[in-house]
Structure 1
Amino acid sequence: MKKQIQFVCQVGTVIGLLGVLFSYAMFQGGFVSWFLFYSFLPFGLYSLAIVIYPLRLTQVERIFASHVYHAGDTLVVTVQIQVPIFFPFIYMVVEEKWPPLLQQKQRNQAVLLPFWRKTYSCTYEICDLPRGEHTFSAIRVKMTDWLGLVSKEASFPVEDTIVIYPRYVAMKYRKIGQQLDEGGVGSPILLHRDMAMAVGVREYVQGDRFSWIHWKASARKNELMTKDFEERKSDDIIVVLDRTPTPLFEEMVTFTASFVRAAIKKGVQTGLISVGSDRSVFPARNGEAHVQQLFYHLAKTSCDSVQPFARIIQQEITQCPLSISVNYVTSRLTKETATVLCDLAAKNRRGTVFLIKQEQHDMTNEEREMVEQLRKKGVVTIITTPKQFANALFGGGE
């Protein structure tokens, strides 16, 4: 309503000026008065022509130079405009309605000088793209007259969505050996074991079969104990991403993307567990389509978990088979998380912890103590920084 009132006022101003000058020439007469009237007449008629021009019939199209982008890339966009009727525009302002994360990158307006053309275009770039799914919703076109007395604009709902995948580094992949109780690193060679051979006993956990209960050991310890089998191991891995709020979340996403890409490229079936405001669990698979599925999730995910990472581990890892290797990606190692991982290690669920830091010296004393505790329990712990991601699996971290 406000724009309509403003538009009526602009039209009234032009008509009023024409009327005043014409009245002045009629009553005053003489060269000067008629010169003023005829001098302003072209500008006034041009302004009124803009008023009746069918700007809303303009065809607007947005074209992306590429459909695949990663965080940090440069986005090149071309806006093509075709007006319905030829008109000698003075200039035209094209304004993009950008997604919220892109609005602070640069100015979202461009001034075009079409003059005698019906079709024209403008190209702009957005550097250092942020990860995520971004929707361009509309393009606004505005034109005005020579004197700026009348302006006309129209908004065109040109909606395009572009996914900025996470950045990744070319990581060298190898299977990480489990650590022994003494702290040494075990062989990375796969051990093929017979599930029918019991090699020890352990505490009963939910999901164990009734036939696995070791009755003599249960009687001695006065609690249920089950047979511990040497199960057949596999190369399959699951990556658990910590989505609790942290300033290093982008680095964690970059590492996770690099890790899963390197593993799948090596032929390893790889899964992902990502729990925050939403719960996303991807089973261990391989193939290019699976890589795209994981990257699409990593592009949209955020550090919005309200649950501590330790609780998420407790809830999710017990559902994973013992034959699969679990890898935890986090930037903060708390006492609660270390306790849960040690408990899982005692139940033959050892895993690998990737502790992401901006610099090696950023670790706290508590985290150093937790790392030593995990390593004594056989949990491989690797501290790595963005500069070391490429060789993180080959001693690139601490």
Structure 2
Amino acid sequence: MRKSKKLLSMTGRFVFIVGILLSAYGFAMFQGGKVSWTIFYILFPFILYSIALFVYPMNTITAERKILTKNIENGGKLTVTVMLKRRFSFPLLYTIVTEKWGSHQIELRAKNKSSYLFVFGMRKQVEWTYEIDRLPRGQHITEGIHIELSDFFGWIRKTAFIPLRESIIVFPKTVPMNYMSLDAQYDRGAIASPFTLIKDTTMATGVREYQAGDRVTWIHWKSFARTQNLMTKEFEDRQSEDLLVVLDERASEQFEEQIELAASLVKEAIQQQANVSFISVGEHKVEYPFIHSAEQLHDLLVHLAKIEPVESPPHSMDWTPSMRIGGSIVFITGSPDWEILQSLGGATRANSSIICFVVVGEGKRVPKSLSERISYARMKGVKIITLRKTQFANAFREEAM
């Protein structure tokens, strides 16, 4: 239907131009005189160009896009370069190129930045760069490039859409954290340790042959340079921590801050060589049992970028992992209800080391109902810490409030 209207409109414009040409020629023939022929000769080049533009093939124009900004975080800036090419030269005048986004929110943020008006002229290649500020977290789709051509007076307007679909991931913003081990696991039993994990693994007492599964950071490169055999460092007390991070996906006023805290915590724990697992609970329960490599961390950050808040989950909030994962648990939420607090209390009685981070608004008081639930959970032995965004860096050192 839309193509039919477009074809009808173009046909009508062409008939209008031909009508002007015949009218001017007829006026000059029957009226005669210098003035009437002058009018005809003035209009003739413009009409001839409009007819040439009418038959100009739009499919000869191709487009390329380059994303100049890599790893964009929430609130960051996106820089894009769009390049138009064509196979042969033709004098194109007013050209409007617009980047079409699938998200109305991005369209509003881009405003007029994603549109470009220029005179193509005889050039075979044109490019322009635009920026979009304060991108929100999420997956944003750019559908393609819309091109509109016009003659001198707007008699002929031709449009074309070049599909150029591309997905842009805006990751959650992360902040550096002063990470501390919650429950360091030794080879025999579990004891509380005030040291961070990275300190414990720097106390090498010897080397041994490399075995499958050894961390790359434990390889003794000096021995490898001398013998060409991979050797692994041995530690007097080789220490590691199993850490499970659970994110509550239910809607809250501080949902974006919850995502930011979860991403920052996981990233910092992995840098400190912890054995990290992750669970997000919302519409569905999504599990990342073991996160060791940079690729696995990237997959998790993509998941966190795409998460949308859930108003009311269709099932009970079962956050327990499907496979046995020992060690410490960090639960991140914005508004813990009685069901969540009771489940945390049960996990605490099972000798698990648990911290529940409740993210609250900056400069806002904790609601009375939430304070009552927090007091109840603390009576059950659950360690709950209320955090504001400015406290994320020292989350593990904050006093319970």
TM-score by length of 2: 0.81
Partners of 1:277 and 1:346 in 2: how far apart?
Answer: 28
Q: Could you tell me how far 1:189 is from its partner in structure 2?
A: 5.1
The equivalent residue for 2:309 is 303
Task: Report the AA paired with residue 166 of structure 2.
Answer: D
CA distance in 1, matches of 2:376, 2:263: 28
Question: 4+ residue runs of structure 1 moved beyond 6 angstroms?
Answer: none
Supply the AA of the counterpart residue of 1:166: P
Does 2:152 align with 1:146?
A: yes
The counterpart of 1:30, out of the listed 30, 33, 39, is 33
| Corresponding residue of 2:90 | 87
SS in 2 for 1:277: coil
Q: Is the 8 A contact 2:137 2:170 kept in 1?
A: yes
How much does 1:271 deviate? 1.1
Question: Percent identity of the aligned residues?
Answer: 29
Is residue 376 of structure 2 the alignment partner of residue 373 of structure 1? yes
> Which one is further off, 56-65 or 83-92?
83-92
Alpha-carbon distance in 1 for matches of 2:362, 2:302: 28
**Distance verdict in 2 for CA 1:356–1:308, change over 3 Å:** farther
Q: Which residue of structure 2 aligns with residue 387 of structure 1? A: 390
Shift of the 322–267 alpha-carbon distance from structure 1 to 2, 3 Å rule, reads: closer
Which structure 1 residue ranges, 5 or more long, are not aligned?
179-185, 191-232
Summarize the Cα distance change of 1:369–1:188 in structure 2 as closer, same or farther, 3 Å threshold.
Answer: farther
Q: Does the 8 Å contact 2:327/2:353 carry over to 1?
A: no
What does residue range 150-161 of structure 1 map to in structure 2 within 5 Å? 150-161=156-167
Match of 2:333 in 1: 330
The alignment partner of 2:287 has SS state of strand
Measure the CA separation in 2 of the matches of 1:295 and 1:339.
Answer: 29
Matches of 2:135 and 2:73, distance apart in 1: 8
More strand, by proportion: 2
Whole-Å separation in 1 of the counterparts to 2:322 and 2:383: 21
Q: Which of 7, 16, 26 is 2:10 aligned to?
A: 7
CA root-mean-square deviation: 2.2
> What letter is aligned with 1:96?
E
| 2:46 partner SS | helix
Distance 1:138 1:67 in 2: 20
Deviations 1:165-190 (A, max 9, x none): 11111111112369xxxxxxx94459
SS at match of 1:169: coil
Q: Which amino acid letter does the alignment assign opposite residue 398 of structure 2?
A: G
Aligned to 2:234: none
Where in structure 2 are there 5+ consecutive unaligned residues? 185-190, 196-238
Separation of aligned partners in 2, 1:188 and 1:85: 72
Task: Give 1:158 shift.
Answer: 1.1
Residues 347-388 of structure 1 show CA distances to partners (whole Å, capped at 9, x for unaligned) of 334511000011364311222222222223322111111111
Equivalence map 1:1-398=2 (5 Å)? 1-100=4-103, 101-105=105-109, 106-107=111-112, 108-176=114-182, 187-188=192-193, 235-304=241-310, 306-307=312-313, 311-312=316-317, 315-317=318-320, 319=322, 321=324, 323-359=326-362, 361-395=364-398, 398=401
The answer on whether the counterparts of 2:246 and 2:319 sit within 8 Å (CA) in structure 1 is: no
Change (3 A) 1:46 1:118: same
